[in-house]
Chains A and B, each alone.
Chain A
């Protein structure tokens, strides 16, 4: 079990820092550890990357013109030719421009060449939402990419996890997409100082152990789920909170084991509802653990509608504590 969001006082081996600070630290440490690692992106210094830009020369930090499709392809070509690029796509909604290169090249080239090449590249995809920036800057597009073979997809929700997973991604020989939930950037918790602190790709984390209901929450949705778990604990209701941390490959074993114990499953995420992670988990649990279920699976997601600009329209569209609490009560 890794560090919880509201961690206990730091031990000597840990330092308390924000999700964003952990993200920056992980990149600095990997750039220092391995000279093949480079960072590519637009306006890197502006969005928290100032400390990185100050520390390395221009051969390691590549400030990109606004050419998302092609600089993504440059990163892929550089990865094939011996570098280990971290490509910062700035805002996840920009991935659609980069998606031809991510899908048709990065995800496929190893397979299509019969293993002659490898593509060790990391894409940082920051998801902004709930911020009144309207539909073209607010997407949470990870479900689209889960449908693509050849990718690995991460969605860390704690500072320790973002540090450990980003490091694992940089050291992995395949293309990895990291979806960062910017809602989590300011969240502080204890983070291991060990520069080799790695969180394995493909392993879920049980953020709270419990017996009554399994709640699987993705990315920023974990914050609300934790608050609900704390509140319901006072009523004697015990939730088991699972953060998959990796969306591809999904650690279905951990989820199925938990459902076998609780018999009840609530799934929470902030992406759109259709063909989402929660759809996939529901299908897998229905296929492989149907007999464990005492009640129907509950899914909480953003609706199938674009993100509006006006706060009065946007604020109610993501599952919050009240929605999660109600879904749990419905199946208790």
Chain B
């Protein structure tokens, strides 16, 4: 399965949107325009995200992680409400209740961006279970990191998905480090894709810096899920260019060799690599340049929207707690 030209350009555009959104987000965070907290950029991991998302249909469901910005953008989400959420604004996608780690955009099918590592894995599995019960043609794609595969939820959920042949794709964005803890220091057996064998499902490891490789593996997994043949585990070997979160100070000897980081930044940038592929395939450079300009403008517009949006009214503190509000104990405590 290969992408048509329109989808190729859309994939390029979405990767760039993630990159630009996060570069600008990082700048705004450092400038104090995004509330103090944790800002986790997925810069460097764009192909692993978009290569998977581009294999999905609009109606397919997704769950993600604390490194959440890329997922809604990769799935095709609008930037304005996402940027407003980063700033804690009333117009944010989560009305200022979620923030950087939880950019769940349900308009593009995301049901959760879980900052509890591994917490979204059962949710995506249950989402697929509902699709099966409801007999709807929908798959669920579950993003998680290399740290999450050591959580019990990973093992329990893969077992159930395999048992019932649920239409779910488990996509591990393996960036090599759970904060500072490397695979070598935390995994008894370092090949994450191999863990699929234990649960009777295909396990595929791909170059997560190569959008085509991620797309092809995900496409095959999606097709298998739609045929009712069950789940697939995909390990996209990728790399985050920045620190675990912006501003994190890690004392002592660097856990990543500076040469290693430099190598990925200069030789293995997924956007640079894919741009080269597109040019080699005959895409005119001026088309790519126009996409680049368009993305810069879109992010600038999103920032303008977010900056001009109001902060949430404190009187709305209790809104969205319940579908059917309970009153009573929901009175001001101070």
Is A135 an interface position by the 8 A CB rule? no
Residues of chain A with a CB closer than 8 A to B6's CB: none
Is A100 an interface position by the 8 A CB rule? yes
Which B-chain residue is minimally distant from A104 (CB atoms)? B116
What string of 1s and 0s marks CB contacts (under 8 Å) between B58-90 and chain A? 000101000000000000000000000000000
Q: A73-B119, A73-B121, A104-B116 are in contact. Are A110 and B126 (CB under 8 A)?
A: no
Residues of chain A with a CB closer than 8 A to B156's CB: 65, 67, 69-71
Q: Is the CB of B122 within 8 A of A73?
A: yes
Q: Is the CB of A111 within 8 A of B133?
A: no
Bound Cα distance from A114 to B322, whole angstroms:
11
Residues of chain A with a CB closer than 8 A to B124's CB: 77
Bound Cα distance from A202 to B104, whole angstroms:
31
Which A-chain residue is minimally distant from B157 (CB atoms)? A70
Q: Is the CB of B104 within 8 A of A78?
A: no
Contact of A150 among B93, B126, B321 (CB under 8 A): B321
Q: A-side interface residues toward B, CB under 8 Å?
A: 38, 59-60, 62, 64-65, 67, 69-83, 100-101, 104-105, 109-118, 120, 149-150, 152, 172-174, 201-202, 248-252
Interface of chain B residues 111 through 141 with chain A (CB within 8 A): 111-112, 114, 116, 119, 121-134, 140
Q: Is the CB of A78 within 8 A of B129?
A: yes
Is B298 an interface position by the 8 A CB rule? no
Most buried by A among B93, B122, B124: B122
Is B277 an interface position by the 8 A CB rule? no
Bound Cα distance from A64 to B119, whole angstroms:
19
A97 to chain B, nearest CB (A): 9
Q: Is the CB of A77 within 8 A of B322?
A: no
B150 to chain A, nearest CB (A): 14
B90 to chain A, nearest CB (A): 9
Bound Cα distance from A39 to B321, whole angstroms:
25
B125 to chain A, nearest CB (A): 5
Q: Is the CB of B152 within 8 A of A70?
A: yes
What string of 1s and 0s marks CB contacts (under 8 Å) between B253-274 and chain A? 0000000000000000000000
Q: Is the CB of A105 within 8 A of B123?
A: yes
Which A-chain residue is minimally distant from B161 (CB atoms)? A74
Q: A80-B111, A117-B111, A150-B321 are in contact. Are A73 and B104 (CB under 8 A)?
A: no
Contact of B130 among A81, A115, A250 (CB under 8 A): A81
Residues of chain B with a CB closer than 8 A to A150's CB: 321-322
Contact of A78 among B96, B114, B127, B329 (CB under 8 A): B127
Give the number of residues in B that approach A within 8 Å (Cβ atoms). Answer: 52
Between A and B, 12 residue pairs with Cβ closer than 8 Å are A38-B133, A59-B132, A69-B122, A73-B153, A81-B134, A105-B116, A110-B320, A113-B94, A114-B93, A114-B95, A116-B94, A251-B328
Q: Is the CB of A174 within 8 A of B125?
A: no
Q: Is the CB of B324 within 8 A of A174?
A: yes
Is B102 an interface position by the 8 A CB rule? yes
Is B200 an interface position by the 8 A CB rule? no
Most buried by B among A73, A104, A152, A202: A73
Bound Cα distance from A174 to B324, whole angstroms:
7
Q: A78-B127, A105-B112, A202-B328 are in contact. Are A69 and B321 (CB under 8 A)?
A: no
Residues of chain A with a CB closer than 8 A to B125's CB: 70, 73-74, 77
Bound Cα distance from A248 to B324, whole angstroms:
13
Which A-chain residue is minimally distant from B109 (CB atoms)? A81
Contact of A101 among B94, B95, B119 (CB under 8 A): B119
Bound Cα distance from A86 to B328, whole angstroms:
26
Q: Is the CB of B127 within 8 A of A80?
A: yes
Q: Is the CB of B106 within 8 A of A117?
A: yes
Which B-chain residue is minimally distant from A171 (CB atoms)? B324
Q: Is the CB of A112 within 8 A of B104?
A: yes
Which A-chain residue is minimally distant from B153 (CB atoms)? A70
Residues of chain B with a CB closer than 8 A to A173's CB: 322-324
Bound Cα distance from A151 to B65, whole angstroms:
23
Q: Is the CB of B92 within 8 A of A76?
A: no
Contact of B106 among A62, A104, A116, A174 (CB under 8 A): A116
A304 to chain B, nearest CB (A): 24
Bound Cα distance from A81 to B324, whole angstroms:
18
Q: Is the CB of A149 within 8 A of B321?
A: yes
Bound Cα distance from A127 to B330, whole angstroms:
27
Residues of chain A with a CB closer than 8 A to B31's CB: none
A11 to chain B, nearest CB (A): 31
Contact of A77 among B94, B129, B324, B328 (CB under 8 A): B129
B271 to chain A, nearest CB (A): 29
Q: Is the CB of A65 within 8 A of B160?
A: yes
Residues of chain B with a CB closer than 8 A to A69's CB: 122, 152-153, 156
Bound Cα distance from A288 to B224, whole angstroms:
61
Q: Is the CB of B322 within 8 A of A105?
A: no
Bound Cα distance from A230 to B252, whole angstroms:
73
A325 to chain B, nearest CB (A): 31
Is B251 an interface position by the 8 A CB rule? no
Which B-chain residue is minimally distant from A252 (CB atoms)? B328
Contact of A112 among B97, B128, B133, B319 (CB under 8 A): B97
Residues of chain A with a CB closer than 8 A to B329's CB: 248-250
Q: Is the CB of B122 within 8 A of A114?
A: no
Residues of chain B with a CB closer than 8 A to A77's CB: 63, 111, 122-130, 140
Q: Is the CB of A114 within 8 A of B157?
A: no
Bound Cα distance from A106 to B153, whole angstroms:
15
Q: Which 8 A-B pairs have the closest CB atoms?
A: A73-B122, A77-B126, A114-B95, A173-B323, A70-B156, A74-B126, A249-B328, A67-B156
Residues of chain A with a CB closer than 8 A to B98's CB: 112-114
Residues of chain B with a CB closer than 8 A to A81's CB: 61, 111, 126-127, 130-131, 134
Residues of chain A with a CB closer than 8 A to B32's CB: none
Residues of chain A with a CB closer than 8 A to B323's CB: 110, 118, 120, 172-174
Bound Cα distance from A114 to B140, whole angstroms:
22
Is B163 an interface position by the 8 A CB rule? yes
Q: Is the CB of B159 within 8 A of A67?
A: yes
Residues of chain B with a CB closer than 8 A to A109's CB: 111-112
Q: A69-B122, A70-B160 are in contact. Are A83 and B326 (CB under 8 A)?
A: no
Bound Cα distance from A150 to B325, whole angstroms:
9
